[in-house]
Structures are given as structure tokens and as C-alpha cells.
Structure 1
Amino acid sequence: MKQQRFRFKMLALLLFGLFALLAVYGVYSINTYGNRWFAYARNPRVREQKSTVTAGNIYDRNGVLLACTEDGKRVYQPDEASRRAVVHVIGDSEGQVSNGVEGFQTAYLYGFKASLMERFNDLFSGENRHGDDVHLTLDSELCTAITYHFSLNPLTKGKNGAAVVMNYKTGEVVAEVSLPSFDPMNKASVSAGSEVYWNRATQSLYPPGSTFKVVTTAAALENIPNVTTLNITCNGGLDVDGQAIRDYGNAVHKSLTLREAFMKSCNNIYALLALDMGDAALRKTAEGFGFNANFLFRDFVVENSAYPTTNRTNFELAMSGFGQSSIGATPMHLCLIASAIANDGVMMEPTLLRQATTPAGAVRDTFGPKVYRTALSPATAATLQQYMRAVVTGGTGSRASVDGLTICGKTGSAESSRNGRAVTHGLFIGYIDSEELPYAVCVVVEDIVDGEGGGSTAAPIAGEIFKYIRDHKESFTH
């Protein structure tokens, strides 16, 4: 009998443990995947709620109304250029933009966060329920300015691309632009399945090209003894496994230090560095920066960046040293990498939601900064900061320079293919070295003109972004 009671106790403890684990997993799943479940277009509970609740308003960081409901219809800013500039962040009423605020913040916008007392009061008020308002970190006017400067530069006018701007101390995303865009108030002219719905800033994987040299440099600093004092020779070309690696224009840089190779963006030397370190060391550093990680951010769905893990030839490894081979990263992730370097090695989680308020105007939730990971040591970050400053003062990133600001950055030109055609993308990552205006940026311009690079296409747009922040300081210091 005692033995039987003991078995019952053990079974009860086992069942209790299983229920406890299930409860813990449930809480974890809701916190981790909750926004994704609410954003799922076929969620029946969400469809039912949308039919009975008036969606809340969406505001930017300066109180600009970005979306509201009028006469039962969702409407956006009155100016078309402004609507287009933020459409991939805000989304649209039909959910064509799958991960915009309209879908991803459904829990707030459609009143799922309301308390039982609030729901009870609404039930007897005789009025239609209203969801919460959401207040974003976004500066909508900066987004509009970015699209304007894409169209202003003859080398970028009409080009597809993306830009991300964030506060590297807090992770607040103040701009996110994807081109081409569309007008959410006039979708009749958009063809079905059009690529304009695709958010290039968070969903498109680009070869990072020479912007990846910040990762290779970090790996070299941490794995090659005395690498900063070495002189490395570039003879204009490198043959690896019977395949040639050449610098742009077949340039011969001769003997360079690591700092000089970074400034001149010498592909041959970075190929040699990758071969010297080996694939495991370079991959470890890349993964420290977030490559191959599963990005589960509270406010964003970001495509996972990739660094190859299998079947690596020496040629593929050499190409990886300067961001080619099969490496892919989103503009959002590249901005995070620049942010981590600027923030002494600490990568903050990117955030978009600043505050949620009830229909009565009370604060429902307020959101603060959160550390995502430590990507590199403060000492390695400090060296990279110096190198990135040199790129802007005397290297390929001079067109990102802005009077009155200390700008650091790295340019990149990345070879890719589209519909069987070889194309080159121009990239720039960088930041303002400032306690008052701690902002990082990534700009990607697709399919640039032959002979051009990130320094002549993406860097000037980054410079205009930095100027805007300088000239509208009051919008970026609160």
C-alpha cells in the first residue's frame, strides 16, 4: 500500500512538473512569438476582433499622425510622398506588407491588451470599442528626406534599395526605407504579387561586399598576433585554387598596414587575411556579430543573415574575406553591425515601439532599450572606430563627411546576380561619433552603374542623412 501511495505521489509530481514546464513554455512563446501570431493574416480571432474594434492610431516620435480610422476605413498621411516613405514600416490595411506595424502590433491596435474592466465598460457603453494608439521611434520626415535624396542623385535616381537609421545607444530605429514603394491609399495601380510590397530593409539578403571587412578586421585583430604592425603586400592579384581574385581596376596597392588596407579597401589583402585565419576563426567572429543567428526581435521580423558553414573551399574562404562568396545580410543587420562597433562592442536590440496608450490617453506600456548581444571586445571596437574614421577622412567614404560631425564608416561594392545578369550593389555603413547624436546608418543602392561603387552612390545618401540629423537635432535628442 505504501509503495502504491509512493507511486501516486511520484506520478502527481511528474504531472505537476509537466504542467509547470508547459506553463513556462507558454509564457515564453507568447513573449517571443506573440506579435507574429497576431500578425498572421488567417488568425480567426484577429479577424473577429477587427470586425468589432476600431483600430488605434499610429504616431511617429514627434507626434505626427501616420495612420488612423475614418468612417470605418484606414487612412494614412495626406501627403503621398510621406505615405510612400513609411509604407513598409507602417504596413497597409489589407496586410500586403506582411510585417508592418498594422499587422505586427495588432495586439495593441485592436484592443487585445485591454483589461477585463475596460472590456466590461465598453460592453455597456453602447459605443464601438477602440484599440490602443501606438507611438513609434520612427521619424517620418527623415524617411521622406531619404527617399528624396535617392531620387535627387543621378547615380541613385530610380534605383531600388534600402536605408536604416538607428540610435546605437538605445536601438531605436528612427528611419527605415525600402524602394520601390507604393501608395497605400491607391493600390489599384499596383500589380498583383508586385515586389513593391517587399521590405528590402528587413527581408532582403545582400552580399555585404567590402562592408564585411569590418568583420574580417575584427577577426584579424583577435586572431593574428601583432596584425596592426604587419606590412602585407598586394601585388594586384591573387590566385586561389586556380581562380583569380583582383582588386577594382586591377589596382596594385603594394605594401600596406591593416589600417591602410582597410582605408583603401584592398580585396587581395583581405582575402589573404581570411586564408591566414582560417574559416573557423572568421565564422566565429561573424557569428558573434549575429550571422547565422535566429533574429527574434520584439518589434521586427528580420531575415536571418547567413555565413556559410559547410563545404568551404579556399577560394570561397578568400572571397568571404571581403564579403562575397555566399554571405548575405539585410540592411537592418548591417546597421546593427555598425551600431555595435560605435557602441564599444555592444549590439542593442532594434526597436520601433516607444509607447502604447489607451483610447483615454493613459499609458498602457512604455518600452526601453535592451541589449541584444556583445559582438566584440571594447578594444577591438576602438581600433575599428579609428579605421572607420580614417575611411571617411582619407579613404573611400569621404562623401559621407559632414561639417560639424565626426563621421565614421565603411563603403562596399558587392557583386550579385539578378535574372541571370551580373549586377553590382553600392553600400555604406557608418555612424556619428557623438554622445548627443549617437546614430548609425546603412544604405544599400541596387544595380549601380558600372564603374561606380558604394563611395559614390550610398555614401552621399548617408551624408545627407547625417546632415538631416544635425540640422534637426531637437527631433533626435528626446
Structure 2
Amino acid sequence: MKRQRFKFKLLAFFLFALFALLGTYGMHSIALYGNRWFTYAKNPRVRAQKQNVVPGDILDRSGVVLATSSISEDGAVTRVYQSDEAARRAVVHLLGDSDGQVANGVESFQTAYLYGFQTGIWERIQALVTGQKRHGDNVTLTVDSSLCTAILQSFQRRAPGKAGAAVVMNYKTGEVLGMVSLPTFDPMSSSAVSTSSNAYWNRVTQNPYTPGSTFKLVTAAAQLRVNPSAQTMQVNCTGNLTVDGQVIHDYGSASHGAIDLKTAFMRSCNNAFAQYALSMGDKALREAAESFGFNDNFLFRDLVVENSVYPTTSRSNFNIAMSGFGQSAITATPMHLCLLAAAVANKGVMMEPVLIDRVASPSGVTRYTRSSRVYRTAMTERQAAILAEYMRAVVTSGTGTRAAVSGMIICGKTGSAETSLNGRAITNGLFIGFAQDVPYALCVVVEDIDDGQGGGSTAAPIARDIFAYLKNMQ
């Protein structure tokens, strides 16, 4: 009998421990993924509840109403966006649309607030008793809609007809100030958009690009980490480097001769960075990339961002060499590339990007207020200071001079990434950078640039326009 009692207690303890473990795992999963599950488009409970709610307003950081709701005499609710079409097109990807064509925009990702699922039980009972639709909460963003419009206009002027993306953030707080994806569309007539144009796709957060020479920032950081003489050591660039029987060319087969790390970074020398990658090895370069967030599972509070990839399998020397300047199988979204520049600007500390500034009930009761959070420390303060010096040289004397703004201290890195689109070889132009005078970092990508162009001639001028606008915002 005692033996049976013991077995029963042991079984009960085991079951209790199992349920506790499952409960803990469930709460952990809800904390991490709850908002993503909740906003899933086919969630039947959410879809049914939406019929009884007037969704709240979405405002930019200055109080400009980006989205509101109108109610007809028969009680039908219609989502209404800004009257200015250019402004609507500029913010549609970060905002989302009422038809749900844009995945993970504020309209869908903040469903819990906008549709009043965070309201108290008393407010729900009131709505039930009166038969009136309850009103959702109002969401204020960190974004400046005028800045977004200015970014869109710069793209239209400098890269007409090109697809691309741009994002701006405060590198001290993580606030996203601007986010634009092209091609874009008008949310007031989204049904007219051709699905083949990929206009619904938010390239800032959902499109991982080959980073090209912008990744040299990571390779340089790795060199500073593993090589005590990294700043003074010279390598020889002949313009062409043969690895595993394959030739790596510098732009125009330029020969830079004996070159140190700063000059190689400033001139964006592929041969030098291929040699750095080979000398330190794939493991050291991958570890540096992972310290910047590559291969991590991004679970940011306000944004769904596609993960960035640095290969983890054994690779040939040729592919390792190509990785030194951001080719091979490396990918990153513009949002993440912006974070790389932001980490350098913020003394090695990478802040979590945030998009929601405040949430308030229809009566003005605050339900949520923005808080800054460190995402990770990518490098030491000393390493960040050295890289900032290198990035400054890129804009003053190197490949990024077209990003310079009079009266501002701009630091940056250009990139020209070779990739493919629908089976066709193309080159994308990139620029990442930051201002030292004001706490803003950015990333600009222009897709499928013309032959003979690079990030310095395509993305950098757009970055210049953005920095100039930010200067005038102060």
C-alpha cells in the first residue's frame, strides 16, 4: 500500500511538473509571439470581433492623423486615410491598409489596440448594453509623416521608376522616424494595384538584400577585434585577386597598391576586404556578424523584421573571400543595415527599433508609452569610434562624398551589391550612415541601378536629401 501511495505521489508530482513546464512555455510563447498570432489575418475570433468595433485613429509624432474611421448613417464603418495622396503613398507600408494587403503594418500588427481588445470589461459591457459599436484605442507613432513624404519625393526625383527602400531612426532611442518602400500604392484605391508589381511588399522590413560593401563595416569590426595591428597592417591590392581559381575584381579593376584598413574602407577596396576575410577565417567573421544581429531571430515589440543571414555551413575560400565585402549568401533588410550604422554612432550599442510612441483610449487614458530598450552591444566603444572615423572619411574623401551636407558631420558607407532579379543579373546601390550632430541613422537602397553606377552615385544623393531635411527639422 505504501509503495502504491509513493508511486501515486511520484506520478502526481510528475504531472504537476509537466503542466507547470507547459504553462511556463505557453506564457513565454505568448509574450514573444502573441501579437503575431493575434494579428494573423485568418484569426476567426478577431475577424468576428472587428465587426463590432470602430477602429482607433493612427497619428504621426506631430499629431497628424494618418488613418481614422467614418461611420455612415446605417452604421457601416469605413477606414479613411489622409487627404494628400503623396502623403498616403509615403506611409502606406508602415501603416498598412484596411484591405490587409500590406502584411505587418500598424493597421494589422496593432490590432489589439486599434480594435479595442485592450479595453476594460466595463467598457465592453457598456457597448453591449447600449448596442453601440465600441471604439478602439488611438495609436501615435514615432514617425514623422512629412519626412516620409520628403523621402518619397527624393526617390521620385533621383531614381524615377526604381524600386527601393529607405529608413531613418534615432540611434540613441531607437525611434523610427521615417520608412518608405517603393513601388508604393494609394491605400484608398488598393484594388487597382497590380500584384506583379510587389507594391504591397514592405522592402524596409521584409526584403533581405545582399548588403554588398556596406557589410565591410562588419568585416572591419571583425579585423579590429581579432587583429591587434589591424589599423596599421597593410595588404596589397593589384585590382584582381585569384581565389580557388576564380578572380575577384575591384571596381574598374582599380589597383590600390599597399593599403591599410582605413584607406581600404574609404575606397571600398574589395581585394583588401577579401584578404581580411581569408586571413581571419570564416568563424571569426561569422562571430562578428552575429554580434551585429545576423542569424538572430528578430522579435522586436513594434516591428516584424525578416531575419538577416550569414552562412553557417562549411564554405570554400572563394565564398569566404566574397563574404568579406558582403557578397556570397549574406542577406540583410534595410532596417537591419540601418541598425549597423546606428550601432557605430551609438558607441557600439544597438537600440531596438520602436514605432509606437503612445497608445490612448478614446477618452484620453494612456494605455502604453514608448520606452527605449537596448537590443545588443555589437562592439566596444573604442571599435565604434574607429569605425566612425572610417565612415567619416568615406563621406569627406571616399566613395560617399555625394551624401555630404554642408554644416553637418555625416558618416557613411556605400555599397554596390551584385545579385539577381527574376533570373537577370542586377546591381543594387546602397548607402548606410549617420549624422554626428543630430542622433539620426539611415539606410537607402536603390534597386537595379544602371551600368557604371554604384551606391555612391544612386543611394548617397538620396541620403543627402534626407540628412538635409533632418537638419531643417531641428
The TM-score with structure 2 as length reference comes to 0.97
1:338 to 333, 337, 341: 341
Residue correspondence of structure 1 range 117-196 to structure 2 within 5 A:
117-153=122-158, 156-192=159-195, 194-196=197-199
CA distance in 2, matches of 1:279, 1:446: 28
Question: Where does residue 443 of structure 1 map in the other structure?
Answer: 444
Question: Where does residue 394 of structure 2 map in the other structure?
Answer: 391
2:248 is paired with a residue whose SS is: strand
Question: Where does residue 458 of structure 1 map in the other structure?
Answer: 459
Q: How many residues of Structure 1 are paired with residues of Structure 2 in the alignment?
A: 469
1:185 is paired with a residue whose SS is: helix
CA distance in 2, matches of 1:196, 1:53: 29
Residue correspondence of structure 1 range 358-397 to structure 2 within 5 A:
358-397=361-400
Question: Where does residue 78 of structure 1 map in the other structure?
Answer: 83
CA distance in 2, matches of 1:360, 1:101: 21
1:41 corresponds to which letter in structure 2? Answer: A
Q: Bigger CA drift: 140-149 or 109-118?
A: 109-118
Question: Where does residue 468 of structure 2 map in the other structure?
Answer: 467
Question: Where does residue 301 of structure 1 map in the other structure?
Answer: 304
CA distance in 1, matches of 2:195, 2:439: 40
Q: Bigger CA drift: 307-316 or 206-215?
A: 307-316
CA distance in 1, matches of 2:211, 2:127: 51
Q: Does 1:47 align with 2:47?
A: yes
2:231 is paired with a residue whose SS is: helix
Q: Offset of 1:382 from its aligned partner?
A: 1.3
Q: Offset of 1:193 from its aligned partner?
A: 5.5
Q: Bigger CA drift: 58-67 or 6-15?
A: 6-15
How big is the alpha-carbon RMSD for the aligned residues of Structure 1 and Structure 2? 1.3
Deviations for 1:205-249, whole angstroms, at most 9, x for unmatched residues? 111111000000001111123011112211111000111011101
2:19 is paired with a residue whose SS is: helix
CA distance in 2, matches of 1:136, 1:313: 46
Question: Where does residue 13 of structure 1 map in the other structure?
Answer: 13
Q: Offset of 1:6 from its aligned partner?
A: 3.5
Q: Offset of 1:396 from its aligned partner?
A: 1.0
2:302 is paired with a residue whose SS is: coil
CA distance in 1, matches of 2:422, 2:135: 47
2:188 is paired with a residue whose SS is: coil
Question: Where does residue 415 of structure 1 map in the other structure?
Answer: 418
**8 Å Cα contact 2:53/2:136 also seen in 1:** yes
Structure 1 unaligned blocks of 5 or more: 474-478
- Percent of pairs with identical residues: 63
Structure 2 unaligned blocks of 5 or more: 72-76
CA distance in 2, matches of 1:9, 1:364: 45
Q: Bigger CA drift: 268-277 or 294-303?
A: 294-303
1:312 corresponds to which letter in structure 2? Answer: R
Deviations for 1:139-177, whole angstroms, at most 9, x for unmatched residues? 111010001001112xx1111000011111111111111
2:147 corresponds to which letter in structure 1? Answer: L
- The 1:42/1:413 distance shift into structure 2, 3 A limit, reads same
CA distance in 2, matches of 1:55, 1:17: 42
**8 Å Cα contact 2:357/2:370 also seen in 1:** yes
CA distance in 2, matches of 1:140, 1:83: 9
2:417 corresponds to which letter in structure 1? Answer: A
**8 Å Cα contact 1:91/1:99 also seen in 2:** yes
2:209 corresponds to which letter in structure 1? Answer: Y
1:242 to 227, 240, 245: 245
**8 Å Cα contact 1:38/1:103 also seen in 2:** no
Q: Does 1:326 align with 2:329?
A: yes
Q: Offset of 1:348 from its aligned partner?
A: 1.0
Question: Where does residue 25 of structure 2 map in the other structure?
Answer: 25
Question: Where does residue 254 of structure 1 map in the other structure?
Answer: 257
**8 Å Cα contact 1:338/1:430 also seen in 2:** yes
**8 Å Cα contact 1:67/1:77 also seen in 2:** yes
Question: Where does residue 97 of structure 1 map in the other structure?
Answer: 102
1:127 corresponds to which letter in structure 2? Answer: Q
Question: Where does residue 476 of structure 1 map in the other structure?
Answer: none
2:7 is paired with a residue whose SS is: helix
Q: Offset of 1:299 from its aligned partner?
A: 1.1
The TM-score with structure 1 as length reference comes to 0.96
**8 Å Cα contact 1:111/1:130 also seen in 2:** yes
2:166 is paired with a residue whose SS is: strand
- The 1:194/1:47 distance shift into structure 2, 3 A limit, reads farther
Q: Offset of 1:313 from its aligned partner?
A: 0.5
**8 Å Cα contact 1:416/1:423 also seen in 2:** yes
1:33 corresponds to which letter in structure 2? Answer: Y
CA distance in 2, matches of 1:422, 1:111: 48
Q: Does 1:227 align with 2:230?
A: yes
**8 Å Cα contact 2:183/2:197 also seen in 1:** no
CA distance in 1, matches of 2:384, 2:468: 25
CA distance in 2, matches of 1:131, 1:250: 60
CA distance in 1, matches of 2:113, 2:171: 26
1:351 to 350, 354, 358: 354
